[in-house]
Amino acid sequence: MLDLNSEIPADIRDCIRDRLDAVEAEDGVDVLFAVESGSRAWGFASPDSDYDVRFVYRHPRDWYLSLKERRDVIERDIDAREIDLAGWDIRKALRLLLKWNPALFEWLVSPITYRQSGDCRAAMRSLYEEHADLQAIGHHYLSLARTQWGRMDTGPQVKLKKYFYVLRPLMALHWLTSNHAIPPMNFDLLREARPWPAEINSAVDDFITLKRATPELGTGARIDALDLWVEATLAAADPSSLPASKDPNAAQQAADDLFREMILEN
């Protein structure tokens, strides 16, 4: 498989590094890890795709000892280089982990890493994989697919990237039900989960070719075979048969322990 880290130009990496340094200085935080999320990490960016930089950070210990509720998200405007920067506080990230948020897991396994300090990322990934509630993850993916399908354009022309945002969670759900394992981030691997009908494979191949060659906001004609497949799949999907977490209390305890470790070492 292509080393996606090598696909990020050196000047972009330098700019991302400088912006992460600025976040730490301006917000008084420590960035624990920063990765690429979105189409570049999924395996087929458009020519002008943004750099979706996502990170987890921590404040000094005393920040967490206040009774005041404080903002636990850091966001920066997209800059001239199309770098989109956003991060979650470690406590927020661990709370989302315990809700089995698939987006967080994608941060933990992203093939493109911009910064990594210590073993927080590896520890979070291990915790997620050991205690994963596949049923909850399946419901997340199904809800995401339904939401994205509801946002699709209704006319004969559609924004091509919107197909991808529906196909990917549905294929992730198929991976879950076929393998009873957390889906991989890479789209090509997701497609290997089961033999797809020939017309679906052909339509997806055509779509990927267009996606890789078409500007981010490019439009194209609706793909009838995909439309029919999405409708049928959404109607039939039922993640309730997937296994739930074996021991939610153990997952909670492990997350609490990791949170204390991350804060006390700071």
Higher pLDDT pick, 48 / 256: 256
- Which token pair is 245? 């977490």
Give 130's pLDDT tier (boundaries 50, 70, 90): very high
In angstroms, rounded to a whole number, what is the distance separating the alpha carbons of residues 246 and 241? 14
Bridge partner residues of 71 (DSSP): none
DSSP helix/strand/coil, 35 = strand
* Rounded mean pLDDT, 249-253: 96
Q: How many other CB atoms sit within 10 Å of the CB of residue 60?
A: 12
Higher pLDDT pick, 50 / 24: 24
Q: Residues 107, 108, 112, CA angle at the centre, nearest 5°? A: 65
Q: How many other CB atoms sit within 10 Å of the CB of residue 153?
A: 11
66 in Cβ contact with 104 (< 8 Å): no
Give 217's pLDDT tier (boundaries 50, 70, 90): low
Provide the whole-model pTM.
0.91
In angstroms, rounded to a whole number, what is the distance separating the alpha carbons of residues 92 and 194? 35
Residue type, 42: W
In angstroms, rounded to a whole number, what is the distance separating the alpha carbons of residues 209 and 163? 13
What is the model's pLDDT at position 3? 66
Give me the percent of the chain exceeding a pLDDT of 70: 97
Is the pLDDT at 27 greater than 90? The verdict is yes
Q: Model confidence over 141-176: pLDDT tens digits?
A: 999 999 999 999 888 988 877 888 898 999 899 999
Bridge partner residues of 54 (DSSP): 35, 86
- Of 266, 265, 260, give the one whose Cα is nearest residue 91: 260
Is the pLDDT at 1 greater than 60? The verdict is no
167 in Cβ contact with 230 (< 8 Å): yes
B/e letters for 217-256, b = 16+ CB within 10 Å, e = fewer, are eeebeebebbbebbeebeeebebeebeebeeeeebeebbe
* Rounded mean pLDDT, 6-27: 94
Output the average pLDDT for the chain.
Answer: 90
What is the model's pLDDT at position 216? 64
* Rounded mean pLDDT, 199-205: 82
